Amino acid sequence: MWSPEFPPSKSRCGACAYPASRVRKYNWSVKAIRRKTTGTGRMRYLRHVPRRFKTNFREGTQATPRNKGAAAASS
């Protein structure tokens, strides 16, 4: 409920600058950047990118068997 004693809060977040399209970041606070940088959260997508990069982002192929018994049976 709005009243003159309590003015409405600003429309921009002080920590991340939402709703701006870019995340708020200043070099005068290096520790704040370190706290919010990539790798401090779950990284649901980025966590798997290095492994997929090794195979040129191949998908949907079957790995060839590496043990001798399976290789002899298939040939």
DSSP one-letter code for 47: G
Check residue 54 and give its pLDDT.
95
Tell me the C-alpha distance between 20 and 17, whole Å. 6
The predicted model scores a pTM of 0.59
Q: What confidence score (pLDDT) does residue 46 get?
A: 97
Q: What is the mean pLDDT of residues 12-18?
A: 91
Alpha-carbon distance of 52 to 59, in angstroms, equals 9
> pLDDT, tens digit, for every residue of 22-69?
999 999 999 999 999 999 999 999 999 999 999 999 999 998 999 987
CA distances from 37 to 17, 34, 44, 48 (A): 15, 5, 14, 17
Q: Would you place residue 3 in the very low, low, confident or very high pLDDT band (cuts 50, 70, 90)?
A: low
Kindly state the helix (H) or strand (E) to which residue 34 belongs, with its residue range: helix 30-36
